Amino acid sequence: MAYFTITSTTLTMTICRALFTKYAKSIGILLSMFSFFVHSATDNQIEQIKLAAEQHILATVEQPAG
C-alpha cells in the first residue's frame, strides 16, 4: 500500500510538471506571436486602426448632451 502511494504521488507530480511545461510553452508562443505581429504593423496601419476604432466608438456610443 505504501509503495502505491509513493508511486502515485511521483506519477502525479510528473504529470503536473508535464502539463505546466506545456502550458508555459503555449503562453510563451502566444506572447511571442503577439509581440511579433504588434511590431510588424506599419505606422500607416496603426493610424488606420486608430481611425477605424474612433469612428466605431462615435457611431455606436451615444454622446451626452452638452
Alpha-carbon distances, residue 59 vs 49, 50, 52 (angstroms): 15, 14, 10
| pLDDT reported for residue 41 | 79
The answer to whether residue 66 is domain-embedded is no
| pLDDT reported for residue 28 | 93
Angle made by CA atoms 46, 48, 53, in degrees to the nearest 5: 95
The answer to whether residue 35 is domain-embedded is yes
C-alpha cell at position 64: 451626452
Average pLDDT for consecutive 10-residue bins of the chain (66 residues)? 61 87 94 85 88 93 78
| pLDDT reported for residue 34 | 84
The answer to whether residue 12 is domain-embedded is yes
The answer to whether residue 11 is domain-embedded is yes
The answer to whether residue 26 is domain-embedded is yes
| pLDDT reported for residue 30 | 93
The answer to whether residue 65 is domain-embedded is no
The answer to whether residue 44 is domain-embedded is yes
**Total count of domains within the chain:** 1
pTM over 0.95, yes/no: no
Structural domain span for residue 25 = 2-60
